[in-house]
Amino acid sequence: SNGTSLCLSPSVLSVEPTENATLQVAFDALHFAPVAPFQYYVHARVSRISPASGPVGGGTVVQVFGDNFKPGSHHQCWLGDGRVNATVHEHSCAETRCTELRCTTPALSVLGTHPLRVTLNGQQASDETDFALYHTPTLVRLLPDNGDVVSSEASASALVRVVSDESGDGFPLGEGNGSDYRCLFGASVQPATRSTPHELRCRAPRVSSAGQVAFRVSLNGQQYGASLPFDLLLPPQVTSL
């Protein structure tokens, strides 16, 4: 009555890597008329994603690596109950052209690990891979909150302890659970390690000039929370004893 007909596509024996067909419709089971082209493709396979975690507020740009992403008409990422559009990107790998999908995670309300899958037609999805959701931690203090300007590779920069609010979730992601901890000193990114669920440690960058910079932390190597001040100081000069 509304001018819409529904039908299921039949299976095919083999597709390498795609196979084109023509959708035809008959209203009397006898006289078929072509309606639109239809494409069969090999099932998409996800090998890994980057990053593998993000805040519950969404906004994480996820790169999905794998095979057979290029065909299809409605590329999407499914994260938990959320669905968002995805775009196809080509890049060089092992002297060939490889494809990846990119999508931006939606806002979700439930913490923890959720299944992430991709679909090429908005209907049939790939196997799932894990994506971890967390609350962005509230930073309480830096110990120390300053360090000497160090430009020489021979000298060690300040080791900073980053303490989060113990009433919150802190830094919940353990190693191998989607974590990519980083410290941001102004525009300089430094790797960080988790020493406790509420403490990270990272070294101040080697810089050539003094000043105060904004210090921020990322749990997934991409999105950073609120900042605390960090002072880069000129080292003391001893003139006499």
Q: What is the pLDDT of residues 63-91, one digit of tens each?
A: 999 988 888 889 999 999 999 999 999 87
Q: What is the pLDDT of residues 180-206, one digit of tens each?
A: 999 999 999 999 999 999 999 999 999
pLDDT of residue 154: 64
Residue type, 7: C
Q: Please state the separation of Cα 16 from the chain's center in Å.
A: 30
Cα–Cα distance for residue pair 21/38, rounded to 1 Å: 5
Contact (Cβ atoms closer than 8 angstroms) between residue 79 and residue 108: yes
For the chain, the 3-state helix, strand and coil shares in percent, each to the nearest 5, are 0, 50, 50
pLDDT of residue 119: 94
Asked whether residue 100 carries a pLDDT value surpassing 70, the answer given is yes
Asked whether residue 105 carries a pLDDT value surpassing 90, the answer given is yes
Cα–Cα distance for residue pair 117/131, rounded to 1 Å: 10
Asked whether residue 125 carries a pLDDT value surpassing 70, the answer given is yes
Cα–Cα distance for residue pair 105/219, rounded to 1 Å: 15
Cα–Cα distance for residue pair 221/131, rounded to 1 Å: 14
Cα–Cα distance for residue pair 171/88, rounded to 1 Å: 32
Between the two ends of the chain, the Cα-to-Cα distance in Å is 98
Cα–Cα distance for residue pair 119/74, rounded to 1 Å: 7
Dig out the tokens for 213 from the structure: 């910079």
Range in 55-59, 96-100, 218-222, 229-233 with the lowest mean pLDDT:
96-100
Bridge partners (DSSP) listed for residue 19: 40
